[in-house]
Amino acid sequence: MDYAKERYGVSSMIQSQEKPDRVLVRISDLTVQKADEVVWVRARVHTSRAKGKQCFLVLRQQQFNVQALAAVGDHASKQMVKFAANINKESIIDVEGVVRKVNQKIGSCTQQDVELHVQKIYVISSAEPRLPLQLDDAVRPEVEGEEEGRATVNQDTRLDNRVIDLRTSTSQAVFRFQSGICHLFRETLINKGFVEIQTPKIISAASEGGANVFTVSYFKNNAYLAQSPQLYKQMCICADFEKVFCIGPVFRAEDSNTHRHLTEFVGLDIEMAFNYHYHEVVEEIADTLVQIFKGLQERFQTEIQTVNKQFPCEPFKFLEPTLRLEYCEALAMLREAGIEMGDEEDLSTPNEKLLGRLVKEKYDTDFYILDKYPLAVRPFYTMPDPRNPKQSNSYDMFMRGEEILSGAQRIHDPQLLTERALHHGIDLEKIKAYIDSFRFGAPPHAGGGIGLERVTMLFLGLHNVRQTSMFPRDPKRLTP
């Protein structure tokens, strides 16, 4: 005879049969203030360990967890404790229990001062017995794994089983942090008077020369996926919106298999009319990034520290106002460090990183602007520098030595734009609509596009952009 048989079991599937009055308490609220209260909690079984007539469970909600104890006694029968011990890890359960203060802190849980004495336990959604990866392995720092020979989880296993990998405290922190970047970006720009726009992703012509563009079957014709919202942002400037931003996917059909390239990523884009000098825009963009960095350090310290536990790194440093170097100054620094480079040569990835280290040593900042790129290495619509025909009014911004933003003053004069397009060998017919946008009065303007996943990666000191894309896309990965 099981005297507790009504107190445990597998619940029938929740199909919204009823609306019980029951209040579910958050694990993060289980503190000594609640001692001796009876509470209901819904949580995942993080671990369970049976020991004679007792079963210890760790219950988890995102980054929070608490110890629960099911012990044979008035409330729990032998059968009930056995049932509890047999619940598969990662299953979701409802537990009724008494909050009890513990004498010795529970070091392995976030709720260290209390445990939950189980009175009822029901499985809400059962996990399969074999997990494709263990959450504890997935948050283990890699160095420790190497040193001690303890398991870690490789990236493909993580990405193949993303639904589980995203449950780790590190992943939870990374993506809550990333949500914060988007929020701070918009908050800052809306306060500055920017208007949010939505730009189409399916476009009729591959605007930027036609390389690296995905083709879409569009009814009986072909169309393309936009490689950036730039042309549309510029049209909004020509349409008097003055200051615009957008957040959306951008697509690059580039067969690059590196730590920082994705075929689909999220662009944080800005475009802005200015009065006399594109530095008005550069300053707005740099200030926006500084506001984001400050906001992240103020509001997301918990998340930063959680990620640091698994991926230790130096705190992100930046200056106010932001350091702005000219390309020729960067060249001089690189040459002094023994690098041979031509005046009109673009920065290679290793040289970008070296430059980042040199700048960090000299100026103690992880964030800086590189201004006045050689005209030859920038797109056709980039405004040439009026004082030096080999330079341009264009800039990149860097975090920890990697590019996160590329931007420029755009040519707003249809005649000069035509000349530059011809110089680049671009078919004028294909960009007619673009050039025509500037024929009815266009203010001088500049802008730039920020890669969201890169900002997350570099601020947190992570090493692969796939860690900061929930469902990354690259030439070899289209799933899940």
Q: Which residue bears the tokens 């266009």?
A: 442
CA dihedral 233, 239, 243, 246 (to 10 degrees): -30
Q: Is 406 a catalytic residue?
A: yes
Q: Nearer to a copy of itself by C-beta: 114 or 235?
A: 235
Q: Does 25 bind a copy of itself (CB under 8 A)?
A: no
Tell me the window of 106-114, 139-147, 258-266, 299-307 that interacts with a copy of itself (CB under 8 A). Answer: 258-266
Choose, by CB under 8 A, the member of 248, 308, 326, 333 that binds a copy of itself: 248
Q: Is 242 a catalytic residue?
A: no
Least CB distance to a copy of itself at residue 98 (A):
21
Q: Is 252 a catalytic residue?
A: yes
Q: Does 435 bind a copy of itself (CB under 8 A)?
A: no
Choose, by CB under 8 A, the member of 77, 188, 199, 310 that binds a copy of itself: 199
Choose, by CB under 8 A, the member of 41, 55, 76, 223 that binds a copy of itself: 223
Give the relative orientation of helices 279-299 and 301-310 as an angle to the nearest 10 degrees: 80
Tell me the window of 229-237, 324-332, 361-369, 418-426 that interacts with a copy of itself (CB under 8 A). Answer: 229-237
Of 42-81, binders to a copy of itself (CB under 8 A) are 42, 44, 61-62
Separation CA 29–CA 51 (nearest Å)? 28
Least CB distance to a copy of itself at residue 451 (A):
12
Which listed residue (261, 279, 473, 477) is catalytic? 261
Of 296-335, binders to a copy of itself (CB under 8 A) are none
Least CB distance to a copy of itself at residue 192 (A):
13
Kindly provide the b/e burial profile for residues 152-187, where b requires at least 16 CB atoms within 10 angstroms of the residue's own CB: bbeeeebbebeebbbbbbbbbbbbebbebbeebbbe
Least CB distance to a copy of itself at residue 143 (A):
26
Q: Which residues pair with 396 in a beta bridge?
A: 370, 406
Residue 178 contacts residue 456 (beta carbons within 8 Å)? yes
Choose, by CB under 8 A, the member of 20, 149, 389, 425 that binds a copy of itself: 20
Q: Nearer to a copy of itself by C-beta: 365 or 393?
A: 393
Alpha helices by DSSP H, listed for 149-278, are: 155-160, 162-165, 169-191, 230-238
Backbone angles phi, psi at 373, to 5 degrees: -65, 155
Tell me the window of 180-188, 321-329, 338-346, 354-362 that interacts with a copy of itself (CB under 8 A). Answer: 180-188
Residue 100 contacts residue 115 (beta carbons within 8 Å)? yes
Separation CA 428–CA 219 (nearest Å)? 26
* CA-to-CA separations, 347 to 288, 339, 378, in angstroms, rounded: 25, 11, 12
SS3 of 45, please? strand
Q: Is 261 a catalytic residue?
A: yes
Tell me the window of 127-135, 138-146, 315-323, 349-357 that interacts with a copy of itself (CB under 8 A). Answer: 127-135
Which are the catalytic amino acids? Answer: 252, 254, 260-261, 403, 406, 454
